[in-house]
Amino acid sequence: MPLSMYGLREWGVALLVAAALSAGAWLVGWWWLLIPIWLLWLVVAAFFRDPIRNVPADLADSVFLSPADGTISAIEHVDGHEATGGAPAVIIRIFLSVLNVHINRSPCTASVVRCHHRPGKYLDARTAESARVNESNLIILDRNGETIGVRQVSGAIARRIVCPLRGGQRLERGERFGMIKFGSTTELILPRPEDVEVRAKVGDKVRGGLTMLAAFTDAKRDDAG
């Protein structure tokens, strides 16, 4: 399986260390050490796996795909959110364990408006408080003239958010755009909750770029932008 270049430093260094340790073990005759050495490297490399996925091509423009692999941990309605210009929003929150693929993908075809990195704490990503106080990166996307958000949130282990996006950049639905290294949370933030049909529930397992999370039910209004 391909490995993400976002983790080149980590799995590349691990590869060099594993090779050096293997050479040393071979020279002193401790051949049995080769198995645990390379098993450990596989564990590190597996975190940065980047599976090739065929993003559904026949979906309506009103459908939003999951921006991450993981488990739906919360679905919230809020009176206002930065991603929607202060207007009401629905937030679909996904918890990523260390066993999940950590590549983030665009939920729809859109243009990047801006990214807002916010420093914070590193609480366990499984707690509700972590979504409010942990380090995060909010990506605001323009889709048909209205804004939606994808937020990357660090966890207790995750200490580095990767997001190379720049304002004006175009993203296709399902396109890779970054990752959060180790356990973390990703949120999809949608405007006009009254028109949003959430197609997942808390506890569901989802896959980035494949699982349909939500859709706008007011197709006429959505097509008009």
Q: What does each C-alpha distance from 210 to 34, 100, 173 come to in angstroms? A: 37, 14, 10
Question: What's the pLDDT tens digit per position in 4-54?
Answer: 888 888 889 999 999 999 999 989 989 899 999 999 999 888 888 999 999
Q: Mind listing the domains of the chain with CATH numbers?
A: 5-47 (no CATH), 63-223 (2.70.70.10)
User: H/E element holding 112?
Assistant: strand 110-118
pLDDT value at residue 112: 97
Residue carrying structure tokens 């704490």:
121
Query: Which of 193, 56, 76, 182 lies closest to 131 in space, CA to CA?
Result: 76
> Which of 86-90, 117-121, 189-193, 205-209 is predicted with the least confidence, judged by mean pLDDT?
117-121
Calculate the alpha carbon distances from 31 to 18, 26, 40, 94 in Å.
Answer: 13, 6, 15, 43
The pLDDT-based confidence of 120 (bands split at 50, 70, 90) is: confident
Q: Tens digit of pLDDT for each residue in 78-111? A: 999 999 999 999 999 999 988 899 999 999 999 9
pTM here is 0.88
- Quick one: residue 86, left, alpha or beta (phi over 0 = left, psi -120 to 50 = alpha)? left
Task: Classify 125 as helix, strand or coil.
Answer: coil
Q: Is the pLDDT of residue 165 over 50?
A: yes
Pull the structure tokens for residue 172: 């296709």
Catalytic residue among 66, 73, 154, 184: 184
Decide if 184 is catalytic: yes
Per-residue confidence (pLDDT) for residue 15, from 0 to 100: 93
| β-bridge partners, 205 | 71
**Within the chain, where are the H helices?**
8-27, 34-47, 130-133, 219-223
